[in-house]
């Protein structure tokens, strides 16, 4: 299979946080998620719980906040683009 990704994805290891947060709006609580892998253009996340996953949100990983959108979903595992 030929994988033509624009950016190389890496799994968080070492001092890189494995947990991220999803912020839908300032009034609602943050949704915690597990970061499976991350690249310069996006990330793969596992969102626990059974609540709805918003299509657009602010993603916090480490100390970096990025405006993001969901590009694919497979159950509670999602792919986002920054």
Count Cβ atoms below 10 Å from residue 45 Cβ, excluding itself: 24
Q: Supply 30's token pair.
A: 């943050």
Q: What span, in angstroms and rounded, lies between the C-alpha atoms of 28 and 9?
A: 30
% pLDDT > 70, the chain: 79
Kindly indicate the confidence band of residue 37, based on its pLDDT and cuts at 50, 70 and 90: confident
CB 39 within 8 A of CB 8: yes
What pLDDT, on a 0 to 100 scale, did the predictor assign at position 26?
85
CA gap 30, 12 in Å, rounded? 21
pLDDT reported for residue 2? 53
Q: What average pLDDT does the chain have?
A: 84
Distance CA 15, CA 18 (A): 9
């Amino acid at each position: 299979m030929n994988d033509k990704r624009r950016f190389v994805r890496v799994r968080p290891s070492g001092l890189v946080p494995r947990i991220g947060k999803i912020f839908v709006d300032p009034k609602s609580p943050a949704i915690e998620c597990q970061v499976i892998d991350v690249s310069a253009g996006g990330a793969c996340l596992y969102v626990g719980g059974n609540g709805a996953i918003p299509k657009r949100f602010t993603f916090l990983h480490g100390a970096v906040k990025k405006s993001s959108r969901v590009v694919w979903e497979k159950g509670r595992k999602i792919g986002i683009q920054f």
